[in-house]
Amino acid sequence: MLREGAGRIGGSIARLLFPPVCPGCQTAVGQADALCPACWSGLRFIERPYCEVLGSPFAYDLGRGFLSAEAIANPPPFGRLRAAVLYEDLAARLVSALKYGDRTSLVPLMAGWMSRAGEELIAEADVLVPVPLHHRRLLRRRFNQSAELARVIAGTRRLAYAPLALARVKPTRSQVGLRAEERRENVRGAFRVKEARRGDIEGRRVLLVDDVFTTGATVSSATRALKRAGASRVDVLAFARVAAGTE
């Protein structure tokens, strides 16, 4: 009780010294780890109607279970994809603040939105696996944003979390600015399930966690590696996705 009291006092002092700011625009807000109303309205949360496979929003409600033309023409190797928000303006700023600015205070907020968007996927998953960085990039950056998001989701939903099961064995260059075909080539064979961790994956339903879904090249390559190691199913949960995937 004493410690709890001290924690509360510590918290009030911290609030006096560092009044909470909006993680989107740095203006003062009343409550820690909350967006200001302007930023809140700048995020586009993805809601149904959307493609049941790719989670891409539809302009019209065509009824539950309807698939996008893209999902029919090019079925992805993973089962379903869900993302919390569309990747534009503020969503993009939040992702880069997390990735390059070590703004870890964003993690619970973003993970909470992902949990909500991925409700059905989480309910059916056995284990959460983040898309890994290559160890050299991890050393440089010290922080894998997808792993931090996955760790918080797994913790709050009491799910198994296997951050070391999947490894990025090929140092790939950034996907930014590459065409769809180049992206696929760039990440081909980039992932492998470590032999010693095969038990985390074999026969299990895996929920793969990434920060942004663009063409799907990265998560498709990671999905193939997980399936080669015996995953019975792979779904994908991202924080943000571009309006329409192109893979």
Q: Which residues contribute to the site for Zn ion (CB under 5 A)?
A: 22, 24-25, 36, 39
Q: Considering beta carbons, is residue 24 or 216 the nearer one to Zn ion?
A: 24
Give the separation between CA 11 and CA 130, rounded to whole angstroms.
Answer: 32
Minimum CB separation from Zn ion for residue 238, in Å?
22
Give the separation between CA 188 and CA 173, rounded to whole angstroms.
Answer: 12
Give the separation between CA 61 and CA 103, rounded to whole angstroms.
Answer: 37
Neighbours of 199 (CB within 10 A): 13
Minimum CB separation from Zn ion for residue 233, in Å?
38
Minimum CB separation from Zn ion for residue 105, in Å?
13
Q: Considering beta carbons, is residue 29 or 153 the nearer one to Zn ion?
A: 29
DSSP structural state of residue 132 = P
Minimum CB separation from Zn ion for residue 92, in Å?
14
Per the structure block, which two tokens stand in for 141?
Answer: 């950056």
Give yes or no for a contact between 168 and 193, defined as CB atoms under 8 angstroms apart.
no
Q: Considering beta carbons, is residue 42 or 49 the nearer one to Zn ion?
A: 42
Q: Considering beta carbons, is residue 39 or 46 the nearer one to Zn ion?
A: 39
Q: What are phi and psi of 150, to 5 degrees?
A: -65, -40
Give yes or no for a contact between 55 and 46, defined as CB atoms under 8 angstroms apart.
yes
Q: Considering beta carbons, is residue 106 or 231 the nearer one to Zn ion?
A: 106
Minimum CB separation from Zn ion for residue 21, in Å?
8
